[in-house]
Structure 1
Amino acid sequence: MLANIQPLDRTAFELGPISVYWYGIIIAFGAVLGLVLAIRESKRQGLEKDTFVDLILWAVPIAILSARIYYVIFEWDYYQDHPGQIIAIWEGGIAIHGALIGSVITAIVFTKNRGLSFWKLADIAAPSIILGQAIGRWGNFMNQEAHGGPVSRAFLENLHLPDFIINQMYIDGTYYHPTFLYESLWNIVGFVILFLLQRANLKRGEVFLSYVIWYSIGRYFIEGLRTDSLMLTETLRIAQVISIALILVSVALIIYRRMKPDTKRYYEA
């Protein structure tokens, strides 16, 4: 039976000499769905309907570029010997933290130029971001990457996973933890929480900071299971270090901004 298990085809379809990969389709779907949700919420908040369309035209390419640069930096031992692979983003190899850095910088510049509140846009975008991340992890699934350490088939079956997931976790003769799935489910729960928080009477910026905290907690623990972590040192995983830093900074910002009497509420213009 094991000999008959074949990985899912990474290629969705071909247009002449051009191969279109599931990885790219899934990432794009997550981005589009997130944009639709952000546009709906921005209308509810009284922003111009084209605000997020204009933002995402800058944010998406910059986020992809920064995510790839971040990944290449921490995998430089490989890419310095394979420079031709640096642009092969369709094969995977982007880092969420790199994408967030690029997106936040882009949003700060964008809102400053438009005379808008960064925190207001960040609050609106937070549920969209985490939903896009939840969907995007399935691109890792198609590429058989971002998985954890070895497990038995019985372990995966005891999780009541469908066969197509179990079989896709069979890589080079070994079954692995579906950490992509753990993070995807964690992010879906986070999306629901953030969606509800948008309806609560929070101070501006707290929905976004809650996203950072929620995502970072899940990422810290799930990263400990992965076998492909980017490393800061031989023993420190960069994603775990950044996750701890982001949690501490976000909690400190919430406390600090709550102490400021002039911090606006979420719904205030």
Structure 2
Amino acid sequence: MADGAGAAWMLARREWVRFFRQRNRVTAAILQPLLFWLLFGTGLKGAFSGSGELDFMQFFLPGTLGLIVLFTAIFATISVIEDRREGFMQSVLVAPVGRLPVLVGKVLGGAAIAWVQAAVFLALVYVISTVSFSSSVVPILILLAVIAVAMCSLGMIVAWPMESTQGFHAIMMLGLMPMWLLSGSFFPIPVLDAGASWGQWVLGGIMRANPLSYSMVELRRLMYPQIDFAAVGFAPSSSVCWIVSIAMAVVATLIAWYLMRGSRKVDVIV
């Protein structure tokens, strides 16, 4: 047990060291979502209507935090493929600690990096007074940690059987970006009523089936508690949002562990 915890800590620490040695990653991780937030928020501010009393910059803020976590998950879990090609992963897998510490170390290392980046961005938001600072910062940080674990576990599911970084990027962008876009991060989830078109029903159904949508709803509710989002669109209760968000992280982690235990051919991919 102690050996497994030590191995997980070593792998998580290695992710931190690798991240901070690549200064371009540190810069891009914060600046890219910040630019997205400022450019889209400014450009679409006048054309946006739909979620309570929020303008687009305020509405898009939780999605920007989600985008920070998503990009970090992509870059953190791609190291699995690089480690395998360099021979490091094979050395780890033959160690008598099992595969669970490998998963825990990789996921927690990447999730911690994503969480810190999102927390730094959130601190900047509080400094410029886009959101009022309150006790809700604690559940916001906890929810961001849950989302980070879920996204990094999804990254591990894709990265573990992959042989090339190019294929990994293609799959991640094809899967995670639509997941983020269809989570209510960029535009409100359409209201499904008698006047909705069939396209709105299809899109609304997909967005409601997306577990990340519930995380975004709860983030927005925590940031703007003075607004009743249930009166203006899709807004499940806080308990439902938390249950779905935690279930997303747990299920993704269990699937990643199942793949790591069951797939042995990837151990010798070079």
Which TM-score tier does this pair reach, normalised by the shorter chain?
A: 0.3 to 0.5
- Which structure has greater strand proportion? 1
- Which structure has greater helix proportion? 2
Greater RCO structure (CA 8 Å; 6+ sep): 2
Q: TM-score normalized by structure 2?
A: 0.39
Q: TM-score normalized by structure 1?
A: 0.39
